[in-house]
Amino acid sequence: MDTIRLDESQIAQAAAILRAGGLLGIPTETVYGLGASGLDSEAVGRIFQAKGRPQDNPLILHIPSADWLEKYCKGIPPAAYALAERFWPGPLTMVLRRAEMVPDVVTAGLDTVGMRCPAHSLCRAVIAAAGVPVAAPSGNTSGRPSPTTAEEMLQDMDGKIDAILDGGPCAVGVESTIVDLTGETPRLLRPGGITLEQLESVLGHVTVDAAVTEQLKEGERPRAPGMKYRHYAPKAPVTVVTGEPAQSAAYIAAHACAGDGVLCFDEYAHLFPGCTVERLGSAERPEEQARHVFGALRRFDGTAVSAIWAQCPHSEGMGLAVANRLNKAAGFHIIYAGEGEA
Ligand code: TXA
Ligand code: MG
């Protein structure tokens, strides 16, 4: 199939593709998504094929405004409305009890569904024009880093989807925060564009699921099924180095071999002559690191590096999401350099 490239003047055409059961690359403020009508089981099935995604990994439903929640969810707690009021449209997904009309293929048979109202204007325009909730995982081949530009998505999906709507580079760069509101206390399943601190400012205490910061043990079942798969990984193995930025940089400078890849904060980029260096952004600015992390991981695949070293931010604010993506890319192969808090 030829994948058509659409721009902002072609929203109606993009919406028609969704309504006809096609697959559409969709820009969001987090990463590009691989969208299909969330009410069309066959179309949703084709998402899994195009990505090579395991069938037991559920999809998020994207809606253009919070008042669509009641159509697809039941038993919605007050906390969901409080979060929607504060952070929607925006990079937050809430796990809620599903209504019966949500197809099983979307939720992988779970009795819950992830709901998100994205902040990208083209994304909301196309969903509203299609008049259906859009099921969309990130637009990468399963296991690869998520795409943050239309070009990156086409590297994985050219010829596998009907069209892609080009909405420019994604503003956030890592996926949405996922919070599960179906239990006794709210639980953070995936850190993302809305920080833990922001969630707690509305909800009070939020439990951080163990899968956010640790490798799952053999046979353990994660609450977000997707957390069990190797993820975001470039072809070369990644070693994450934590600690104060100056110390993690010194550690990598001492241990990297000529020809290795290094993913570092801008301030230390000069310390690795002979290595293939990708910059994450300033050590002081995790938002900037979030925008760069996936593109940098992808670019290593176009090089001959056989090992990659990555500096890792502290876990405050957006640092938690950046650290989570790096740790997953490294299969939780993490080294702590130096003194102070890791
Ligand atoms: O920012 C984002 O959320 C992007 C853009 C395209 O919106 N989407 C995205 O989707 O990251 P995906 O499928 O790549 O990641 C969704 C994650 C998976 O780990 C999945 O297992 C989890 O959400 N998930 C989906 N529905 C769930 C549910 N009902 N309960 C628990 N986890 C769920
Ligand atoms: Mg994904």
Whether 254 has a pLDDT exceeding 90, the answer reads yes
Q: Atom of ligand 1 at shortest distance to CA of 110?
A: 29
Helix axes 78-87 and 196-203, enclosed angle (nearest 10): 130
For residue 140, give the nearest of 165, 158, 119 by alpha carbon.
158
pTM above 0.85, yes or no: yes
Q: Is the CB of 110 under 6 A from ligand 1?
A: yes
CA R_g for the chain:
20
Could you report the per-residue pLDDT of 23-46, keeping only the tens digit for each?
999 999 999 999 999 999 999 999
Does 142 contact ligand 1 (Cβ within 6 A)? no
| Binding site membership of 177 for ligand 1 (Cβ less than 6 Å) | no
Question: Residue-wise over 218-256: b if at least 16 C-beta within 10 A, else e?
Answer: eeeeebbebbbeebbbbebebbbbbbbbebbbbbbbeeb
Task: Kindly state the percentage of the chain with pLDDT values over 90.
Answer: 92
| Residue 26 tokens, joined | 């969709």
Reported as a single tens digit per residue, the pLDDT across 52-78 is 999 999 999 999 999 999 999 999 999
Ligand number with the minimum distance to the CA of 24: 1
Cα–ligand 1 centroid distance for 51 (angstroms): 14
- Give the chain's mean pLDDT: 96
- The preferred substitution site among 120, 178, 294 for testing ligand 1, maximizing ligand atoms within 8 Å of CB, is 178
**Per the structure block, which two tokens stand in for 69?**
């929640």
Residue 232: per-residue pLDDT:
84
Tokens 């980029």 map to which residue?
A: 269
User: Ligand 1: distance of its center to the CA of 212 in Å?
Assistant: 14
Give me the pLDDT at residue 217, please: 80
Residues 6+ apart with CB under 8 A from 302: none
pLDDT value of residue 339: 66
Indicate the top mutation candidate among 28, 60, 107 to test ligand 1's pocket, ranked by most ligand atoms within 8 A of CB: 60
Atom number in ligand 1 closest to CA 26: 6
87 vs 92: CA distance, rounded Å = 7
**pLDDT tens digits along 137-191:** 999 999 999 999 999 999 999 999 999 999 999 999 999 999 999 999 999 999 9
Residue 340's pLDDT is what?
A: 52
Residue 90 beta carbon below 6 angstroms from any ligand 1 atom: no
Residues with CB in 5 Å of ion ligand 2: 138
Beta-carbon-side half-sphere exposure of residue 10 (alpha carbons within 13 Å): 15
Q: pLDDT, tens digit, for every residue of 267-312?
A: 999 999 999 999 999 999 999 999 999 999 999 999 999 999 999 9
pLDDT band at 135 (very low <50, low <70, confident <90, very high): very high
Rounded to the nearest angstrom, the distance between the alpha carbon of 232 and the centre of ligand 2 is: 8
